């Protein structure tokens, strides 16, 4: 039972970090786009 809970916890952390990573990447992309727009106008 303990190992099952531990494995679930590890899996949950991995999924969470993936989601956070995706959000950060899209956020960085938006920042780049906005900065380019502001620089070239």
Q: So what's the pLDDT on residue 38?
A: 80
Q: So what's the pLDDT on residue 23?
A: 94
What φ, ψ does residue 15 adopt, rounded to 5°?
A: -65, -45
Going residue by residue through the chain (41 aa), what tens digit of pLDDT does each one get?
688 888 888 888 989 899 999 999 999 999 999 888 887 76
Q: Is 12 left (phi over 0), alpha (psi -120 to 50) or beta?
A: alpha
Query: What's the whole-model pTM score?
Result: 0.54
Q: So what's the pLDDT on residue 22?
A: 94
């Amino acid at each position: 039972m303990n190992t099952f809970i531990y494995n679930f916890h590890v899996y949950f952390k991995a999924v969470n970090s993936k989601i956070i990573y995706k959000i950060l990447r899209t956020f960085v992309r938006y920042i780049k786009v906005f900065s380019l727009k502001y620089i070239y106008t």
